[in-house]
Amino acid sequence: MNRYRGAIAALFFTVATNAFAADAGPARQEIVLSNFSFAPSTLRLQRNMPVTLHLMNNGSGGHAFSSPELFAAVMVAPEDKDKIMGGKIEIPVGGSVDITITPMTAGSYPVVCTHFLHQSFGMRGVALIE
């Protein structure tokens, strides 16, 4: 019995680890919108790997996460589709929005804040699907 104990323990650990990984859900990427930047300014996404974008507005006014090209290149979770209007997501001051996407098409996609002059003041970035 002792010679099998290690093998049984290893098998149990492997099964438990795989079950936990399967239930972990999509990765989470935090994006902070402030006066006047995105952090990080470069968002790296893996093709076919679901990710929840957690958009947080730490600025003193409203901000938008706008990227029609990016949203055309991803699959958006059905429950999150209504959060995107005209290729952008509005995030109220002090608020946050979570959206789960699965990147589908590799490429480089510009991201900007469409509020008046915010892009000119540096509120722009890029989403890379690799």
Per-run averaged pLDDT (10 residues), the chain, 130 residues: 48 44 81 96 98 97 97 98 98 97 98 97 97
The tokens 């997501």 sit on which residue?
89
Name residue 42's beta-bridge partners: 126
Query: Which pair of tokens denotes residue 113?
Result: 């804040």
Residue 66 contacts residue 112 (beta carbons within 8 Å): yes
What's the confidence (pLDDT) of residue 8?
43
Please tell me the pTM assigned to this model. Answer: 0.81
Second-level CATH architecture of 26-129: Sandwich (2.60)
Angle at 126 between CA 119 and CA 96, to 5 degrees: 70
What's the confidence (pLDDT) of residue 23?
61
What's the confidence (pLDDT) of residue 9?
43
What's the confidence (pLDDT) of residue 55?
98
DSSP characters over the chain: -HHHHHHHHHHHHHHHHHHHHHHS-SEEEEEEEETTEEESSEEEE-TT--EEEEEEE-SSS-EEEE-HHHHHSEEEPGGGGGG-BTTEEEE-TT-EEEEEEEE-S-EEEEEE--STTTTTTT-EEEEEE-
